[in-house]
Amino acid sequence: MKSNTEKFGKTPHQPSLWTRADALKVHADDPTTTQPLVSANFPVLSNEVFIWDTMPLRDMDGNITSVDGWSVIFTLTADRHPNDPQYIDENGNYDITRDWNDRHGRAKMYYWFSRTGKDWKLGGRVMAEGVSPTVREWAGTPILLNEQGEVDLYYTAVTPGATIVKVRGRVVTTEHGVSMVGFEKVKPLFEADGKMYQTEAQNPFWGFRDPWPFRDPNDGKLYMLFEGNVAGERGSHKVGKAEIGDVPPGYEDVGNSRFQTACVGIAVARDEDGDDWEMLPPLLTAVGVNDQTERPHFVFQDGKYYLFTISHTFTYADGVIGPDGVYGFVADSLFGPYVPLNGSGLVLGNPSSQPFQTYSHCVMPNGLVTSFIDSVPTDENGTQTRIGGTEAPTVEIKIKGQQTFVVAEYDYGYIPPMLDVTLK
Ligand code: FRU
């Protein structure tokens, strides 16, 4: 496997590296980068469905947007099956854990609306059955395009394959609620190419998903972030000096870390509508560090690019470890170089006493961080847990230069608008 320089050449940019040395600085339970404990007494949004990845409606500049006073979120959603014999265990009880763990295979895109930025009401499915070309509708981003209420939903069409797609529809409001109309024609945009981004043929555990389009505040062009893995056959990647970074004596052994090859991908649009995209080399790679950098997104603040991405404990490579949560990197220009926030990259992780309490954090430009509840221990030893499948309490962080600080906590699923658009 080639190094970044051999692989991507000198132009248009060199991916920044999240190194093993950076990751050695990750420490769970630092209160400034740890999500407050989530109580096992949390309320659930719905007894009919599980929700996880939450995608607030926003504009192309990243502002969370309400329409005619209605806040709107999209969520990955799956039915709960409390009465399905398939999920009843040998004692006759509902095995909610198994039902929850199976959810990815039946994920569908739903939307919710609210007058208050919380207490969400279920709107329904965004696309009718049969519209999306694959079994799984995985994460992406809904973009409000204009005052006519047109919405482009970018998402990932998975199984078979993994394709970044978009579907256009419209948001319609009344005094009583919100509906989504249209969303009938799904347009494939691009797939992993095997040269910059790993394909399924190169690695059955590849990741290629989670589109996040945006307008660069500096050059005004349309780009898109996404999750990928660095191209190459599984096991062929090299964890060399650059990937290791400046480690203390005794930390040179990289074990089997060549199998962890996450990256944050970027593409640029060739047109104004975002129908025609060209993939560029990754912005950030984590070869030898972590196998997943999911749902990448930006906050543009103080003239800087704050790049956030979620990752798991179980996807870390041999010899490095960190909590489930959101990690961040900062640069002065879009193509980097990116430096890990707080030295390590960790911005908001789960406390070690409740390692799976939340996931899929989305940092909004107002510093609020939304996530979902995964599972919370209900006894001292953490052997009993309560499955969530619902919105977690919102946390506020302060971003200051290369550091971040947890400063406040709000209600479950609190996602207030940053601006309101009156539809024409
Ligand atoms: C994050 C994630 C996304 C993916 C979805 C699948 O929680 O893994 O990367 O699109 O969940 O359910």
Query: How does pLDDT run across 66-106, given as a tens digit for each residue?
Result: 999 999 999 999 999 999 999 999 999 999 999 999 999 99
Query: How much is the pLDDT for 12?
Result: 75
How many angstroms does the Cα of residue 219 sit away from the middle of ligand 1? 30
Averaged pLDDT, 264-275: 97
d(CA 138, CA 265): 17
Query: How much is the pLDDT for 10?
Result: 58
DSSP state of 23: H
Protein residues with CB under 6 Å of any ligand 1 atom? 52-53, 76, 104, 107, 138-139, 156, 209-210, 227, 294-295, 359-360
Atom of ligand 1 minimally distant from the CA of 295: 9
Query: Under 8 Å CB-to-CB from 388, ≥6 apart: which residues?
Result: 42, 44, 372, 373, 374, 375, 376
Render pLDDT for 358-397 as a digit per residue (tens, 0 to 9).
999 999 999 999 999 999 999 987 789 999 999 999 999 9
How many angstroms does the Cα of residue 156 sit away from the middle of ligand 1? 10
Query: How much is the pLDDT for 2?
Result: 60
Query: Under 8 Å CB-to-CB from 244, ≥6 apart: which residues?
Result: 19, 20, 21, 251, 252, 254, 288
pTM greater than 0.95: yes
Q: Please give the positions annotated as active site.
A: 53, 294
d(CA 352, CA 206): 28
Query: How much is the pLDDT for 380?
Result: 81
Domain positions in the chain are 4-421
Query: How much is the pLDDT for 381?
Result: 79
The CB density around residue 36, as the number of other CB atoms within 10 Å, is 14
Taking CA atoms only, the protein residue closest to ligand 1 atom 1 is: 360
**Residue 393 · residue 380 · CB < 8 Å:** no
Cα 17 off chain centre by: 19
Site to probe by mutation for ligand 1, drawn from 110, 156, 209 as the one with most ligand atoms within 8 Å of Cβ, is 209
Site to probe by mutation for ligand 1, drawn from 53, 109, 293, 308 as the one with most ligand atoms within 8 Å of Cβ, is 53
Q: 137 pLDDT exceeds 90?
A: yes
Identify the band that residue 8 occupies on the pLDDT scale cut at 50, 70 and 90: confident
User: Topology of 4-421 in CATH?
Assistant: Tachylectin-2; Chain A (2.115.10)
DSSP secondary structure string for all residues of 312-368: -STTBPTT----SEEEEEEESSTT---EETTTTSEEEE--TTSTTSEEEEEE-TTSE
Q: 129 pLDDT exceeds 90?
A: yes
How many angstroms does the Cα of residue 247 sit away from the middle of ligand 1? 32
Query: How much is the pLDDT for 189?
Result: 98
Query: How much is the pLDDT for 73?
Result: 98
- Give strand pairing partners of 263: 228, 285
